[in-house]
Amino acid sequence: MDETPLISICIPAFQRVNYLRRLLDSIEIQSFRNFETVISDDSPGAEVQELIRSHPLNPKIRYIKNKETLGSPENWNEGIRHAKAGWIKIMHDDDWFSGPGSLQTFADAIGNKNARF
């Protein structure tokens, strides 16, 4: 049985594969590994799915193709609905982690009872 990840990185995506590639690349190099990546795709075409298929992070990605365009807030919610972890990190497709320790910093804050979010 697969272990439940600590963090679900939820990404509402819409067409911008160049930005999304940068985000996925930044996720791939994270030192903290107890996460899953959930991408909810609101794009009318297949460009996001094609990127995911060829990306090295692919085995750690749960991909959801919306049957119809949901719009920004509902696309965020769709990704969250598919998350398995107890903690959600929403990253928009034009965001990225600044360095390989970024997700570790987030995980450390989760375990710190004195952390302020």
CATH numbers and ranges of domains, the chain:
7-111 (3.90.550.10)
Residues 6+ apart with CB under 8 A from 10: 38, 40, 76, 79, 80, 83, 88, 89, 90, 91
pLDDT per position in the chain (117 positions), as tens?
368 999 999 999 999 999 999 999 999 999 999 999 999 999 999 999 999 999 999 988 999 999 988 888 999 999 999 999 999 999 998 999 999 999 999 999 998 665 555
Give the single-character DSSP code of 95.
Answer: -
Give the single-character DSSP code of 101.
Answer: T
- Alpha helix segments (H runs only) across 1-117: 17-28, 47-54, 72-81, 102-111
CA 39 to chain centre: 6
Output the pTM of the full model: 0.91
**pLDDT tens sequence across 25-40:** 999 999 999 999 999 9
